[in-house]
Structures are given as structure tokens and as C-alpha cells.
Amino acid sequence: MADFLYLWTNRAKFSIITVAFYKAWIKRIYCFPEVMNRNFNRFILISGGAMIHETAEISKMKIQGSKRLLSVGSFSFVGQVYIALHEQIKIGERVCINDGVEMLTASHDVSDPKWSNTKASITIEDYAWIGTGAMLLPGVNIGRGAVVGARAVVSKSVMPGAIVVGNPAKQINKIRSKELNYNPCDSLASNRAWLRG
């Protein structure tokens, strides 16, 4: 919910004569720089042609390539990540991408004597969770509600609801619930200060 107007419009309201009013405003003032930093990060991406929903939370990213190839859906959180945008990266709704994640959309064909470039898009579907330090390689699709474990290296698409770990990433027996209904942006202290007080 990086858009400040959204936070202001949907803020929790308390009577000025209550302790809750003052607690909420102390938290809001304390968290204000964080909110403005994420607003600025979002603004920079949109200015470069990216499609970022007004409720998406964007931390500082290192991006190489055309920002026009990036789209992020509503209520998704993207941490401090590295993205090589040589092809499209589409991030769905209510996705959580932790810090240290790398997303690469280009590589070289090792079987080609001329070592030619290869490019392929990455899609991350709704409710997916990409753990800290994971790497997504060109052409992968992360299915709805799938989980990529911390430091996993994903070279093949991940089925909806699957949980993958390791290098190379392999699916474990456990799967996620099919009935997902959460907002990863709710867990951010700066948002909670505005929306809950």
C-alpha cells in the first residue's frame, strides 16, 4: 500500500481525546520516512514505464534493462531485489518477494558454439512467496500460492501450491492451502500504523 493517498484515505480514525489517537500518530510519524521511500521507489519505476499497482509495496531495487518490462499487481510486496529485465517479468497480486532475491530473464546458450544470448520471461502468480536470496532463472513460472525457499535456485516452473527448496530447486511433499486469503503488505509496521493505528 505504498501510495500515500491510499493510506490516508483508509487510515484508522480515533477520537482526539483517546490514547489510541496519540499512539497511532506517534507510530505514523515515526514510520513516515519508510512510507515515503517506498512511494519514491514506486514513482521511479512508474516513471520508467513499469506497471505498478497503487497498493503494491516496492523497496529499493537494482534493475538492469527496460523498466517497461516489469508489472506488479495489487497488495504485492517486493523487497530489496536484483532484476535483469531483458524480457517481461509479471508479478501477480498478493505476492511476497523477500530481500536478496535475483530474477534473471537472460542467459547464454551453453550448447551453442557462438554462446548466443537466450531470453525468456518470468511470471509469478498470485499469493506466491519467494524466500530470501532465491534466484529465478529465465522462463520460469511460479504458480499460484507456490513457495520458493530461501536460497533456492529455480530453473524450472513451479506448480501452483508447491513448495520448492534447494539448488537446484526441488519440490517437497508439503503443499500450501488452496484457500489463500491474506495481504503480505499488512505485516509492514508502517502500513499497520496507518490502517490499524
pLDDT single digits (tens) 80-138: 999 999 999 999 999 999 999 999 999 888 888 888 888 999 999 999 999 999 999 99
Residue 100 is predicted with a pLDDT of 96
Please say if the pLDDT value at position 2 is more than 70.
no
Confidence category of residue 1, pLDDT binned at 50, 70, 90: low
Residue 10 is predicted with a pLDDT of 84
Confidence category of residue 175, pLDDT binned at 50, 70, 90: confident
Q: Which domain holds residue 50?
A: 4-195
Residue 31 is predicted with a pLDDT of 87
C-alpha angle 41-95-27 in degrees, rounded to nearest 5: 55
Average pLDDT (145-171) is 95
Average pLDDT (135-162) is 96
Q: How many domains does the chain have?
A: 1
Mean per-residue pLDDT of the chain: 91
Residue 12 is predicted with a pLDDT of 87
**DSSP type of residue 30:** H
Residue 188 is predicted with a pLDDT of 81
d(CA 178, CA 8): 33
Residue 42 is predicted with a pLDDT of 87
Confidence category of residue 72, pLDDT binned at 50, 70, 90: very high
In order, the DSSP letters of 33-100 are HHHHHHHHHHHHHHHTT-EE-TT-EE---EEEE-GGGEEE-TT-EE-S-EEEESS-EEE-SS-EE-TT
CATH of the domain at 59: 2.160.10.10
C-alpha angle 133-137-121 in degrees, rounded to nearest 5: 125
> What is the share, in percent, of the chain residues with pLDDT greater than 90?
60
Confidence category of residue 155, pLDDT binned at 50, 70, 90: very high
